[in-house]
Chain A
């Protein structure tokens, strides 16, 4: 009998050599002795490539494994969970994993992402079954009661958005999934799409039922070819299994779904820009109103939701809104998959209820910086998010608590920097990034961002630094007040926070 061995096929795991490890395992053990299953990643990216072996007492992990370790591991009895320096015991028992509250990511890293049988066995499509027996208004009500707020960054209540689309009268409505995930430090969307794509497909199908939309699109960034391939294969399997198409599971309800690919523009994550791009146009931001919920894709009522928002809907329906609502703190209900990145020893994906502190994430999970030096600054919520200093690491991760310190949780990306970081350079980069990615529609963003780069350069070169500082502060206000969307409107936040908390870095440099 062959032993089942799991190796991740997630892009992060393969970026560290998981494919080579898988090949080495087959070559050394012989194809007949092991049954290799390629899963998503558990999110313990610091342990990848992680090899898990099914034993009588559960899935025993070895990591991080290099191809050269494989013969030694087999000799040490890998296939029976034998002792070895790389043996980490049962993966579920690792405190890093065990302490998590995996609702949205319950199956990621465990199942074969393209096996509908695995998906069903692990509780998949229970939410859709419930939804098929419900009236649209009741589905919307359940999502509202769960307290789910949009995970793309703005944290708008998902149920309220859906209600607007449901109540709009139109011959055609759409469900669109924002999988543009452009924020540095974030990879939850990617991990979910690669590791459990049926959850997203199920969530979108439920959204379609909830608002009477028959067509869905997933707008995925071109930087994620592995996710695109997995989604396309999963959609094909879902059609073949009767879960998509003219007659979803014999219900007489229709839902069609396909993937559209972006083309390397950060702004296309902004929802109206994404809709323009889906229509095949330049991704220029639209003026609101009208809301996309009323006039969205091709002018029709449209749901725009982030991957994680949509992928959380199945568990809400399957376990009931109260179950989800029970997690969290204050007005931040449920869980968020935090993504721990940058200069960190143990990075990866940590799904926890809101309320966990930044300190717990950085030290209990992260183990401090990868370099071993003190963590000096943390950027949260992507390139438009504020830099947070160590004195604020006790802040609980909750939308309102972070707004209270002038920061944001956003899509949950947490990027650590050690004390070698030059915060004036990071502020310069915030302006530069905004200049590169501006859609060009409004002047404060298009011109202001380039001007910001110049001002910081002048300051660092020692040209009237006090004057430059004043100009930078004025420019930030102009951009915040005068920009049409969050790119120009929030790019000043990392700049302002760097100035506020790390002002000592904004001094002229010698040798400039």
Chain B
């Protein structure tokens, strides 16, 4: 993952070069940047704006409109806990509470060792098998407190 300013610039340039010919490309570019860097660095905003002939305010406005785009570096893995109704019906709020306590952070927070971010999501499309979480991209159903701990404490796989 590119994690210095020059690295970021190169990633963003590549995304712009590849996507700017597409109709309405801003979301495509933001996805490409977040996929590569993990978030949208604030310094990327003017570069993206210039590359797409948009104002900085427009790009900033889009980044902040969507819950999925992050302006701060996330943890190495993200755990998303579903807090929507079907999961609530089978104990999602208790699981959310447990997640906070067990990780020692609130929603939108990152653990102090940088290993995990905690996010709320509203439905993962796994509503018959709740409570549901997505951890490091993988969906899990019928998650108990114990299973949550086992999954989040499991050592990260080296890519």
Contacts and interface: CB of A to CB of B under 8 A. Distances in A.
Contacts of A421: 89
A224 B138 CA distance: 11
A264 interface: yes
Given A343-B89, A379-B85, A187 B128 contact: yes
Given A277-B27, A280-B25, A416 B141 contact: no
A344 B126 contact: no
Interface stretch (B1-9, B10-18, B65-73, B109-117): B65-73
Interface string A429-452: 100010011010000000000000
A415 B86 contact: yes
B130 interface: yes
Nearest to B62: A282
A222 B68 contact: yes
Interface string B142-157: 1000000000000000
Given A12-B128, A16-B141, A344-B128, A260 B28 contact: yes
A11 interface: yes
B76 to A, nearest CB: 18
Given A263-B31, A263-B67, A223 B125 contact: yes
Contacts of B134: 223
Given A15-B132, A340-B128, A341-B86, A263 B27 contact: yes
Contacts of B140: 15
Given A12-B141, A281-B26, 18 more contacts: A15-B126, A184-B86, A185-B86, A187-B127, A261-B27, A263-B68, A264-B68, A264-B69, A281-B24, A281-B58, A282-B62, A283-B65, A283-B66, A341-B89, A342-B130, A344-B128, A347-B128, A348-B128
Contacts of A222: 31, 68
B68 to A, nearest CB: 3
A347 B85 contact: no
Contacts of B130: 341-342
Contacts of B69: 263-264
Given A11-B139, A16-B142, A45-B129, A263 B66 contact: yes
28 contacts: A11-B139, A12-B125, A12-B141, A14-B138, A16-B129, A184-B84, A186-B127, A187-B128, A226-B139, A263-B27, A264-B66, A264-B67, A264-B68, A265-B68, A279-B23, A280-B24, A280-B27, A280-B28, A283-B65, A339-B127, A341-B86, A342-B85, A342-B86, A347-B127, A383-B122, A413-B127, A418-B89, A437-B122
A151 interface: no
B66 to A, nearest CB: 4
B89 to A, nearest CB: 4
Contacts of B66: 262-265, 283
Nearest to A385: B85
A437 B61 CA distance: 15
Given A12-B128, A15-B126, A426 B67 contact: no
B129 A15 contact: yes
B49 interface: no
Nearest to B123: A184
B85 A429 contact: yes
B114 to A, nearest CB: 22
> What is the predominant secondary structure among interface residues of chain B facing chain A?
loop
Interface string A264-287: 111000000000011111111000
Interface residues of A, number: 62
Contacts of A415: 85-86, 89, 127
A190 interface: yes
Interface residues on B, range: 35 or more
B124 interface: yes
A238 B124 CA distance: 27
Contacts of A426: 85, 88
Given A279-B24, A280-B26, A341 B31 contact: no
A186 B128 CA distance: 9
B89 A417 contact: yes
B30 to A, nearest CB: 7
Nearest to A436: B122
Interface in A276-330: 277-284, 298
Given A12-B141, A298-B23, A342-B85, A187 B61 contact: no
Interface string A331-372: 000000001111110011000000000000000000000110
Contacts of A185: 84-86, 123, 127
A421 B28 CA distance: 41
A159 to B, nearest CB: 28
A112 interface: no
A46 interface: yes
Interface string B46-65: 00000000000010011001
A181 interface: yes
Contact of B31 (A16, A261, A281): A261
A462 interface: no
Given A263-B69, A342-B86, A278 B129 contact: no
Contacts of B24: 278-281, 298
B71 to A, nearest CB: 13
B21 interface: no
In the A-B complex, the 4 residue pairs with the smallest Cβ-Cβ separation, listed nearest first, are A347-B128, A264-B68, A280-B26, A184-B84
A182 interface: yes
A225 interface: yes
B89 A223 contact: no
Contact of A263 (B30, B85, B123, B139): B30
A224 B93 CA distance: 22
A183 interface: yes
Nearest to B90: A343
B68 A416 contact: no
Interface in A169-210: 181-187, 189-190
A216 B34 CA distance: 25
Contact of A12 (B87, B129, B138): B129
Contacts of A279: 23-24
